[in-house]
Amino acid sequence: MTVDVDPKAPLDCLLSARGLRKAYGRHLVLDGIDLDVRRGEAVALLGANGAGKTTFLRIAATLVRPTSGRVVVAGADSTRDPETARRGLGFLGHGSWLYEDLTALENLRFWSTLGGHDTAISGLRAALAAVELDRWSDERVRTFSAGMKRRLAIARLVVARPRVLLLDEPFSGLDQHGSKWLEEHLQLFKSAGGAVVMSTHSFGRGFGVADRAAILAGGRLAADVAVASLGADGVRRLYDLAAEEGT
Amino acid sequence: MTYARRAWIVLWKDAVTERRAKATLNALLFFSLLLLFVFQFTLGADRERLVAALPGLLWLSFVLTGLVGLGRAFLVERENDCWDGLLLAPGDKSAIYLGKVAGNLILMLIVEVILLALFTVFFNVDIGRALPALALILPLGTIGFAAVGTLFAAMTAHVRAREVLFPVLLLPVQVPVLLGAVKATEAALAGESLGAVTPWLQLLVAGDVIYLVAGLLTFDAILES
């Protein structure tokens, strides 16, 4: 098992990307991204469609190999030692990872067993209660709405208890109540020492969780700013400027 | 223990999904009936031709239904990006392969038993005396098929022309096991003892072991790629 820490990254860094490049053929999606996310910190990844947000998250999650550069997740190089990196991260992409013909509880049981997490029914039911799906625990996922599926996908992360959360537009499909719950959950996750990187298009829902905003444009990191210093409106102006320059 | 639990949970998930949706089993049974009608129509009432062709027809049916079933093995993993989840699950990925192979093997054996029963009804043949031998030959012939079929189904799961590529890859590799299975079945149906076909049975066992070990060793790389 190789545990590899970038000497340039801050000591309390849970995710560190250095010189990250990704090209699909001649199309360069990411061009030298450097990004550090510390313990207890949430970074909102902003950018227009095709800016590379999902690609960045999928590389960090070890689902896609970078063309060059590296990402260290919870102390493990995600390219050279993906197995160790995977133990420390939780990923929520566009797909829900749900089996439609299993019930909510059965889906949680499947993923927690496969991931080597606690599979006690009480724990799984508690995770379902946390996302307010306990009443539907024995219903097949096929009967769920998109928002309920999103909540169940989040319950999977609650069971896994990762150190780093990589979330691709986590608030999409959630109603106001669900969004509020997720915001609170992410705040709790941060205060427990976890790190969050989430892509978003919205400056409203969920943006309050972010401590920093990293704006991607033209494959590059156009800005990396503290949200508190600029406010949501300031970040939005910066985003518009970066999007214009990126195109 | 963790390895066995992980393999078991994959088998359990596939079994529960299939029991509730019955998508693959229904398709396979319908396809089997169709095959039997075609064979019945082609062979007619000529019993000599039928007896000579029966072992080959049996395994042709098993292979064709197996191709349909195995080709669907990873469709459920593509839905909702579950494939990503399997890839990110920490630990030895060969446990996932083993669970998948076991699920496919059980499904194929169920279909084979039903097909065998339908053959006896459709063609009015008595296989009672051959049943103990067939109870050994069928699983031996199917393990290798399920092992290599599951591997190639994973390999072609994300390929655009997978419906074409999957049988093209699988059938040539399957030839040795198929030969052994047909020859052993021929002897069993003719009432010969299994001792007379020991080399073919040895070929079946060797094929099963080689394909299963190859699958266990390479599945991780296939999933990652």
Half-sphere exposure of A71 (CA within 13 A, CB side): 32
Q: B59 and B150 in contact (C-beta within 8 Å)? A: no
Q: Would residue A223 count as lying in a domain?
A: no
> Would you state the pLDDT for residue A54?
94
> Would you state the pLDDT for residue B38?
86
Please give the sequence-ordered ranges of beta strands (E in DSSP) within chain B, or none if there are none.
none
> Would you state the pLDDT for residue A10?
60
Q: B67 and B148 in contact (C-beta within 8 Å)? A: no
For residue B154, pLDDT beyond 90: yes
pLDDT in tens, B12-40: 999 999 999 888 888 888 888 888 888 88
Helix and strand element counts for chain B (H, E): 9, 0
Q: B201 and B180 in contact (C-beta within 8 Å)? A: yes
Alpha carbon of B22: minimum distance to chain A alpha carbons (Å): 10
- The domain total for chain B is 1
For residue B211, pLDDT beyond 90: yes
> Would you state the pLDDT for residue A5?
45
> Would you state the pLDDT for residue A7?
52
Question: Between B103 and B28, whose confidence is greater?
Answer: B103
- The domain total for chain A is 1
Question: For residues A68 and A66, what is the distance between their CA atoms, to the nearest angstrom?
Answer: 5
pLDDT > 70: percent of chain B:
100
> Would you state the pLDDT for residue A192?
92
Point out the residue among A91, A100, A110 whose CB comes nearest to the CB of B88. A91
Q: B198 and B187 in contact (C-beta within 8 Å)? A: no
Cα A230 from chain centroid (whole Å): 23
Q: Would residue A221 count as lying in a domain?
A: no
Q: What is the ipTM of this complex?
A: 0.88
For residue A243, pLDDT beyond 80: no
Range from A143-147, B30-34, B202-206 carrying the lowest mean pLDDT? B30-34
Question: Between B198 and A7, whose confidence is greater?
Answer: B198
pLDDT in tens, A40-92: 999 999 988 888 999 999 999 999 999 999 999 988 998 888 989 998 899 99
Output the domain CATH number for residue A59. 3.40.50.300
User: What residues make up the domain containing A35?
Assistant: 13-195+209-215
Question: Between B52 and A45, whose confidence is greater?
Answer: A45
- Please give the DSSP secondary-structure letter assigned to residue B196: G
Q: Would residue A65 count as lying in a domain?
A: yes
Q: Would residue A173 count as lying in a domain?
A: yes
Please give the sequence-ordered ranges of beta strands (E in DSSP) within chain A, or none if there are none.
13-24, 27-38, 42-47, 68-73, 76-77, 89-92, 164-168, 195-199, 212-217, 220-226
User: What residues make up the domain containing B210?
Assistant: 2-224
Chain B contact for A78 (CB, 8 A cutoff) = no
* Mutation for testing the B interface, residue in A64, A105, A113 having most B CBs under 10 Å: A113
pLDDT > 90: percent of chain A:
55
Question: For residues B44 and B151, what is the distance between their CA atoms, to the nearest angstrom?
Answer: 38
Q: Would residue A227 count as lying in a domain?
A: no
Average pLDDT of chain B? Answer: 89
Buried b (16+ CB within 10 A) or exposed e, B96-135: bbbbbbbbbbbbbbebbebbbebbeeebeeebeebeebbe
Q: How confident is the model at residue B209 (pLDDT cuts 50, 70, 90)?
A: very high
Model confidence, pTM:
0.88
* Residue A62 with chain B: CB contacts under 8 Å: 87-88
Question: For residues B84 and A54, what is the distance between their CA atoms, to the nearest angstrom?
Answer: 14
Q: Would residue A6 count as lying in a domain?
A: no
Q: Would residue A191 count as lying in a domain?
A: yes
* Residue keyed to tokens 């989430």: A198
Letter for the amino acid at B120?
Answer: T
For residue A2, pLDDT beyond 70: no
Chain B contact for A95 (CB, 8 A cutoff) = yes
> Would you state the pLDDT for residue A69?
94
For residue B43, pLDDT beyond 60: yes
Residue B5: closest CA among chain A residues belongs to which residue? A113
Q: Would residue A85 count as lying in a domain?
A: yes
pLDDT in tens, A111-121: 999 988 888 89
Q: Contacts by B159-168 with C-beta closer than 8 Å and gap 24+?
A: B162/B71, B163/B71, B166/B67, B166/B70, B166/B71, B167/B67, B167/B71
Beta bridge partners of residue A72, listed in sequence order: A16, A77
Chain B contact for A102 (CB, 8 A cutoff) = yes
Give the strands of the sheet with A89-92, arranged side by side. Answer: A89-92, A164-168, A195-199, A42-47, A212-217, A220-226
Range from A6-10, A13-17, A105-109, A129-133 carrying the lowest mean pLDDT? A6-10
Strand A27-38, strand A195-199: pairing? unpaired
Task: Spell out which chain B residues touch chain A, with contact meaning CB-CB distance below 8 angstroms.
Answer: 2, 5-6, 9-10, 12-13, 16-17, 20-21, 76, 79-82, 84-91, 96
